[in-house]
């Protein structure tokens, strides 16, 4: 039995010394480990993405897809409207009846207190304007130059139809690559193109097209159109307010639609004008002297 007691005492002494050595080594190990961690070179981190870029880009692409689908469903519109037009010192506010049919058929009747003041119709390559008060009938090519000379709106009828119907202009490829996405207040803006060739932007608010802007390579804005006051008409969201600015031309026009009808039946004859008996006939193409030559 005594040898056993000696062995037990020896074991306890050995355990005590092992614990003492461990208690002295543990701080050294912790300090050494801390030093190693502190002096380990930091691993380079990946660049932080622009906050919200992925989410905004995703939302913009979904809205562009919805806009493309809306474009496919919208064929025509006819509506009375209040038009307000400004160009330089000229300011006109009038009641109008507007009929627009894709791709480029257009008819506008501008009213005065005494009746119809002006009729404009475009179909295919032809554009005609009739002024009943002057019994004057004008005809020309349906292009941007003609509209610019007469109403200082540098748009071909095809683009004007898109403007009136809240469509993306033909040069906006809706399945193209979005160059950048940004926000302008509550509006999400998707931009296309680059500074060298010019940029085009589509703005969205509450899922609807709120803005179309075309900027030239020199940074000047060719036109900017704002859309608002959307209503659901037969399952198609349609803006009741169209506000367009043409900085280079110095003109601005606003349309407030009253009772629009979309995708109704509109005969092609709607867009054909014929001169009244005895009307003065004129060509909308300018001659070298800068006057309208009489065709009669």
Q: What is the CATH number of the domain that holds 177?
A: 2.50.20.10
Burial class, 156, CB count within 10 angstroms (exposed 0-12 / middle 13-18 / buried 19+): buried
Question: Is residue 252, in this structure, part of any structural domain at all?
Answer: yes
pLDDT attached to residue 231? 97
Please determine, for residue 246, whether its predicted confidence score (pLDDT) is greater than 70: yes
Residue 120, domain member (yes or no): yes
| Residue 204: strand, helix, or coil | strand
Q: Output the furthest CA–CA distance in the chain (Å, rounded).
A: 145
In a domain, 237, yes or no: yes
Give the contacts of 93 (CB within 8 A, at least 6 positions apart): 82, 83, 84, 85
| 146 contacts 90 by C-beta, under 8 angstroms | no
For residue 286, the model assigns a pLDDT of 57
Residue-level pLDDT at 30 = 37
Q: Are 124 and 101 in contact (CB under 8 A)?
A: no
Q: Is the pLDDT of residue 36 over 70?
A: no
- Residue range of the domain that includes 253: 53-283
Mean pLDDT of 195-222: 91
The whole-number pLDDT of residue 166 equals 94
pLDDT of residue 46: 42
**Per-residue confidence band for 254, with pLDDT thresholds at 50, 70 and 90:** very high
**7 in any annotated domain:** no
Task: pLDDT band for 279, please (50, 70, 90 cuts).
Answer: very high
The rounded percent of the chain whose pLDDT value lies above 90 is 52
Residue 9 lies in a domain: no
Range in 43-52, 67-76, 154-163, 171-180 the model is least confident about: 43-52
Inter-residue contact 83 to 242 (CB < 8 Å) = no
* pTM, rounded to two decimals: 0.76
Structure tokens belonging to residue 122: 């475009």
Domain membership flag for residue 33: no
Rounding to the nearest 10 degrees, give the CA dihedral for residues 245, 250, 255, 261.
Answer: -80
Q: In total, how many domains does the chain have?
A: 1
pLDDT at 176 over 90: no
pLDDT value at position 224? 96
């Amino acid at each position: 039995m005594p040898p056993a007691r000696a062995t037990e005492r020896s074991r306890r002494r050995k355990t005590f010394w092992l614990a003492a050595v461990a208690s002295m080594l543990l701080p050294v190990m912790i300090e050494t480990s801390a030093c190693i961690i502190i002096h380990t070179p930091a691993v380079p981190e990946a660049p932080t993405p622009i906050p919200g870029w992925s989410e905004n880009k995703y939302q913009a692409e979904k809205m562009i897809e919805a806009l493309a689908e809306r474009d496919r469903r919208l064929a025509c519109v006819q509506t009375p409207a209040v038009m307000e037009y400004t160009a330089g010192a000229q300011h006109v506010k009038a009641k109008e009846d507007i009929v627009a049919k894709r791709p480029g058929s257009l008819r506008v009747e501008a009213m005065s207190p005494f009746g119809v003041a002006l009729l404009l119709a475009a179909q295919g390559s032809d554009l005609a304007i009739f002024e009943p008060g002057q019994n004057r009938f004008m005809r020309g090519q349906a292009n941007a130059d003609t509209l610019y000379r007469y109403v200082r709106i540098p748009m071909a009828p095809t683009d004007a139809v898109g403007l009136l119907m809240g469509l993306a202009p033909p040069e906006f490829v809706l399945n193209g690559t979005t160059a950048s996405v940004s926000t302008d207040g509550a509006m999400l803006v998707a931009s296309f193109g680059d500074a060298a060739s010019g940029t085009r932007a589509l703005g969205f608010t509450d899922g609807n097209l709120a803005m179309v802007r075309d900027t030239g390579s020199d940074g000047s804005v060719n036109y900017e159109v704002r859309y608002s006051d959307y209503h659901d008409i037969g399952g198609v969201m349609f803006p009741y307010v169209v506000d367009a600015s043409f900085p280079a031309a110095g003109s601005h026009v606003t349309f407030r639609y009253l009772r629009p009808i979309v995708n109704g039946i509109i005969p092609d004859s709607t867009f054909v004008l014929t001169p009244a008996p005895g009307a003065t006939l004129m060509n909308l193409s300018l001659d070298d002297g800068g006057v309208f030559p009489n065709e009669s």
